[in-house]
């Protein structure tokens, strides 16, 4: 943890791709006073000793890639686990986190765009997901899935795979609670061939899998209010865990 008593908690955010930010969750954390230090793994990542939490974001890479950036993220996650830092991993970040916790990732059934997930009874007492509805639609973008280790608590799931789990002070998400309306609209624009801040590789990935922009925007609009509340709850809970670590 950092040594400045009374200062807001500091969160190291590892962002893999320029077009895949922390989105709704990052905005909600910042509103709660959490200082976000966003770094890219293409260059060296800082030690976690000066932070009160770690978040590892999605990316186009796969969790089995033999790549220096993947290796750096693994090392940073390992260091965070050794110091019992609160950790959140999203999609690729969640897969890497589960691997370091003793689970594994595998290439399985792809899920793209909006699909339903189900909350398990364990969400009722979870610090991040206690407000999750029993069933809701959320954005997906994965060809790999994770299998949590036996001691993990499954929080969200569907017929394809585990969608969120917790072990101690770590949370791994396969789905994308960070994705907001603006990102969905930008992806839809790219799929229509319009100018967009979403990278061409990302647009091509969704286009090649048959995602239709009108359906994407329709489903996003229907899910928006629920997902906004979900992201607020995740941020509220994780901010509290980081603040608790900072004051320990």
- Residue 6 — very low, low, confident or very high, per pLDDT cuts 50/70/90? low
> What average pLDDT is seen over the chain?
96
- Residue 5 — very low, low, confident or very high, per pLDDT cuts 50/70/90? low
Q: What pLDDT score was predicted for residue 7? A: 83
Q: Percent of the chain at pLDDT above 90?
A: 95
Note the pLDDT tens digit of each residue in 217-239: 999 999 999 999 999 999 999 99
CATH class of the domain whose range is 10-247:
alpha beta
Mean pLDDT of 87-116: 96
Note the pLDDT tens digit of each residue in 156-195: 999 999 999 999 999 999 999 999 999 999 999 999 999 9
- Residue 4 — very low, low, confident or very high, per pLDDT cuts 50/70/90? low
- Domains of the chain: which residue ranges? 10-247
Which residue is it, tokens 């624009």? Answer: 189
- Residue 43 — very low, low, confident or very high, per pLDDT cuts 50/70/90? confident
Mean pLDDT of 145-166: 97
Structure tokens at 194: 């319009």
- pLDDT at residue 66 is higher than 80: yes
- Residue 80 — very low, low, confident or very high, per pLDDT cuts 50/70/90? very high
- The pTM for the full model equals 0.95
Q: Which of 69, 9, 65, 79 is nearest to 39 (CA)?
A: 69
Q: State the Cα–Cα distance between residues 201 and 27, nearest whole angstrom.
A: 25
Mean pLDDT of 70-86: 97
Q: What pLDDT score was predicted for residue 248? A: 80
Q: Give the other-Cβ count within 10 Å of 139's Cβ.
A: 25
- Residue 81 — very low, low, confident or very high, per pLDDT cuts 50/70/90? very high
């Amino acid at each position: 943890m950092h040594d400045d008593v009374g200062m807001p908690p500091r969160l190291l955010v590892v962002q893999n791709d320029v077009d895949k930010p922390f989105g709704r969750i990052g905005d909600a954390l910042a509103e709660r006073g959490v200082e976000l230090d966003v770094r890219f793994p293409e260059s060296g990542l800082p030690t976690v000793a000066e932070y009160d939490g770690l978040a590892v974001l999605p990316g186009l890479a796969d969790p089995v890639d033999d790549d220096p950036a993947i290796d750096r993220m693994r090392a940073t996650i390992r260091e965070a686990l050794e110091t019992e830092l609160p950790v959140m991993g999203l999609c690729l970040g969640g897969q890497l986190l589960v691997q370091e916790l003793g689970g594994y990732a595998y290439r399985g059934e792809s899920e793209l765009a909006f699909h339903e997930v189900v909350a398990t009874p364990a969400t009722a007492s979870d610090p991040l997901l206690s407000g999750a509805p029993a069933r809701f639609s959320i954005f997906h973008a994965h060809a790999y899935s994770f299998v949590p280790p036996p001691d993990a608590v499954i929080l969200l799931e569907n017929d394809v795979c585990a969608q969120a789990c917790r072990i101690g002070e770590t949370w791994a998400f396969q789905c994308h609670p960070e994705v907001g309306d603006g990102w969905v609209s930008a992806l839809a624009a790219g799929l229509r061939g319009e100018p967009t801040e979403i990278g061409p590789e990302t647009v091509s990935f969704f286009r090649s899998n048959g995602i239709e922009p009108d359906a994407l925007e329709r489903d996003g609009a229907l899910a928006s209010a629920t997902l906004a509340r979900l992201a607020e709850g995740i941020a509220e809970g994780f901010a509290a865990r980081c603040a608790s670590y900072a004051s320990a």
